[in-house]
Amino acid sequence: MIPFSVLDLAPIVEGSDAREALARARRLATHADRLDYNRYWLAEHHNIPGIASAATSVMIAHAGQDTEKIRLGAGGIMLPNHAPIMVAEQFGTLDAIYPGRIDLGLGRAPGGDQAVAHALRRTLIGGEDRFPKEVVELQAYLDDTEPGQRVQAVPGAGTKVPLWILGSSTFGAQLAAHLGLPYAFASHFAPGAMKQAISIYRETFQPSEQLKEPYVMLGFNMIAADTDGEAQHLATSLRRTFVNLRRGTPKQMAPPDPGFEDEILPHERTMLDQVLSCSAIGSPETVKESVSKFVSETGADELILATSVFDEKARMRSYEIAADVRESLGPAKAAE
């Protein structure tokens, strides 16, 4: 069966706080582990009131405490925000806590707006243009040490924590192919260049020590419930979140509100149709049909599911339904 994974932003919902968001993240990781999901990843975002996963490596350590076998990782670390050696040390430490279960997805965006980039001091030493060199530098810190190497990541050296390149454009596809790394595309919110990026990655892939054949994981929105109507109701929270982001007014996740649809302007409705085009929202039957079509059209090796639902029980139920759908799909290869 095609592997399913979990992408969590540790959402802070209205009436809640960061402490509760962190507790929910830990419970979700445990739930995903019991449902045999392949990975549980957290994403680095900054200055967004409704997201609690800014300190991503800390969150991974916290969320994985009650898990046994699921892979844990970042989807991703925004590398230009950090010194590569510090990332190597953090993920080397995580590998020591959860040996053989850590993934390190790398992106080049700031995880916020330009004000965030300035606060992170990205503009002082470069930024996105340095990304390929910093990926290689980080990879070297995680590799075996060389004789006479003066700077080592401790912990980190020799762990060879698997690296992934994340992307929402063709840039990441080219880099992942050149370095022979697995590629994760953000089709759950930026699907426009998805097919082109996948094609470039697969056609130009160069085998590496980490990966012999191209491997593509695609982001996919999944909101499943017992009926189509219930799932569509739950999805209004996600739709409001995207509209708030595009309006420049990010907020905590709001409860479902069908009346919100009446507030959406025509250009916002067009935006939602585009950014949420890689989604399955509905009953088990609807979800199965949507997932099957998506996998068939893209040839995805793995899906990483983003389930933005206000109610925790409904969110857990959505992942249960998705796990059942996964069992009913055809075979697919797995990869570390």
Q: Does the pLDDT at position 22 exceed 60? A: yes
Distance of CA 318 to the CA centre of its chain: 17
**What's the pLDDT at 126?**
53
Position with higher pLDDT, 292 vs 109:
292
143 pLDDT higher than 70: yes
**Is residue 217 predicted with pLDDT exceeding 70?**
yes
Q: Which two tokens stand for residue 304?
A: 């990483």
Do residues 134 and 84 make contact, with C-beta atoms less than 8 angstroms apart? Answer: yes
For the entire predicted model, the pTM comes to: 0.94
Domains of the chain, CATH where assigned: 4-328 (3.20.20.30)
For residue 127, what pLDDT is reported? Answer: 54
> If you average pLDDT over residues 245-258, what whole number do you get?
94
Q: Which range has the worst mean pLDDT, 232-236, 276-280, 326-330? A: 326-330
Confidence of residue 130 (pLDDT cuts 50, 70, 90): confident
Percent of the chain past pLDDT 90, that is, above it, reads 88
Burial of 45 (0-12, 13-18, 19+ CB in 10 A): buried
Q: What is the mean pLDDT of residues 81-110?
A: 96
Q: Which residues of 142-172 are buried (b: 16+ CB within 10 A; e: fewer)?
A: bbeeeeeeeebbebbbebebbbbbbbbbebb
| Model confidence band, residue 96 (pLDDT cutoffs 50, 70, 90) | very high
The proportion of the chain whose per-residue pLDDT surpasses 70, expressed as a percent, equals: 96
Say how many residues make up the chain.
Answer: 336
